[in-house]
């Protein structure tokens, strides 16, 4: 998650709502995938104060190769903007969330950013990581026969997560979504947010649902897994490509770009399956949702040479 767009009561949400400032000089001459630096002390302090023991991770040669590959697979617009606006990337052990994108001091007039990743992500594929993330939205029920899994293919999870985080940077630099200081501020919509979002973290009335409002990325609390079939049935009637996309318009943009790129450009599957007693009862496949598909024309700018 970027900046402080979602206020939560738990540090264990998928992306943290914290932000920091980092000082220093950065060169735009090296490739973005090579700009590996330790996370700023403020990030370490944040996790220590939450009772954790974060530690900087030095990457192995194999891990560095995974990172380079992930950067190489980004859309062309992402690659151009990261060359100018990415200050550094960091990898941390004992980090509770997946990733954190934050602004740092400008360099040469350019807005600059750091992305800190949970290092163990480098040992997961998209399906493993996305299934973990999705299950963070649910609590066990007395009827334990329900299960939720995401089929996202076997590519490295860092590819999806970098897509999501890099889109936050592209968003801030190019203005895909508005960026008011106050989450409750009423501002002019962009093409991306018009008729879908009323405020930064409040959808327009047609897409507000009482059940979805109870889910983790809306309320900060998970719901019973026995409600999962209904949750995804409700989600399929909205233009949001994932539960996390319902959190705020910036997350909506990052999720739509990431899922579109993974499925359409990298030819990977992406869908959520709910089973009961190992029998499928619900499937949520965002790229087959007409309301989601109707938004895809807005993504053409990401692929201009």
CA distance 239 to 260: 13
Tokens representing 117 are: 């990743």
Tokens representing 53 are: 């023991």
Rg of the chain taking only CA atoms, in angstroms: 19
Nearest C-alpha neighbor of 253 from the set 216, 299, 195, 203: 299
CA distance 237 to 286: 10
Q: pTM to 2 decimals?
A: 0.90
What pLDDT, in 10s, does the model give residues 13-66? 333 333 444 444 444 568 999 999 998 787 788 889 989 999 999 999 999 999
Nearest C-alpha neighbor of 87 from the set 62, 69, 108: 108
List, as one string, the DSSP characters of 45-111.
HHHHHTT---EE-PPPHHHHHHHHHHHHTS-HHHHHHHHHHEEEEEEEES-SSSEEEEEEEEETTEE
> What's the confidence (pLDDT) of residue 29?
64
pLDDT band at 280 (very low <50, low <70, confident <90, very high): very high
> What's the confidence (pLDDT) of residue 45?
86
The predicted model gives 195-224 an average pLDDT of: 97
pLDDT band at 5 (very low <50, low <70, confident <90, very high): very low
Q: Is the distance from CB of 240 to CB of 233 less than 8 angstroms?
A: no
The predicted model gives 255-265 an average pLDDT of: 98
CA distance 14 to 136: 8
What residues are paired with 278 via a beta bridge?
none
CA distance 120 to 189: 38
Q: Quick check: 11 pLDDT over 70?
A: no
**Is 189 buried (19+), middle (13-18) or exposed (0-12) by CB count in 10 A?**
middle
Lowest mean pLDDT among 11-25, 103-117, 251-265: 11-25
Q: Quick check: 116 pLDDT over 70?
A: yes
The predicted model gives 241-258 an average pLDDT of: 98
> What's the confidence (pLDDT) of residue 40?
77
What does the mean pLDDT of the chain come to? 90
Q: Give percent of the chain with pLDDT exceeding 90.
A: 80
Helix 249-260 with 157-174: angle, nearest 10 deg: 130
The predicted model gives 262-270 an average pLDDT of: 98
């Amino acid at each position: 998650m970027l900046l402080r767009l979602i206020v939560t009561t738990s540090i264990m949400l998928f992306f943290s709502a914290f932000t920091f400032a980092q000082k220093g000089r950065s060169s735009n001459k090296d490739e973005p995938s090579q700009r590996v630096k330790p996370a700023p002390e403020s990030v370490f302090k944040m996790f220590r104060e939450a009772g954790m023991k974060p530690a900087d991770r030095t990457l192995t040669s194999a891990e560095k190769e995974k990172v380079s590959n992930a950067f190489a697979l980004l859309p062309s617009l992402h690659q151009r903007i990261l060359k100018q606006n990415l200050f550094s990337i960091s990898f941390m052990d004992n980090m509770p969330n997946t990733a954190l994108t934050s602004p740092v001091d400008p360099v040469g007039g350019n807005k600059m950013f750091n992305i800190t990743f949970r290092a163990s992500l480098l040992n997961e594929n998209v399906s493993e990581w996305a299934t973990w993330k999705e299950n963070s939205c649910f609590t066990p029920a007395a009827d334990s026969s329900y299960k939720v899994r995401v089929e996202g293919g076997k590519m490295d999870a860092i590819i999806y997560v970098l897509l999501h985080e890099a889109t936050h940077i592209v968003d801030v630099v190019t203005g895909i979504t508005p960026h008011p200081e106050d989450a409750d501020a009423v501002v002019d919509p962009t093409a991306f947010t018009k008729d879908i979002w009323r405020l930064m973290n409040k959808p327009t009335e047609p897409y507000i649902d009482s059940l979805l409002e109870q889910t983790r990325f809306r309320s900060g609390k998970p719901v019973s897994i026995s409600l999962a079939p209904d949750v995804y049935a409700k989600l399929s009637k909205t233009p949001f490509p994932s539960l996390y996309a319902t959190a705020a318009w910036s997350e909506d943009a990052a999720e739509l770009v990431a899922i579109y790129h993974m499925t359409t450009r990298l030819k990977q599957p992406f869908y959520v399956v709910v089973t009961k007693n190992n029998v499928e009862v619900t499937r949520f496949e965002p790229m087959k949702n007409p309301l989601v598909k109707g938004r895809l024309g807005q993504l053409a700018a990401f692929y201009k040479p």
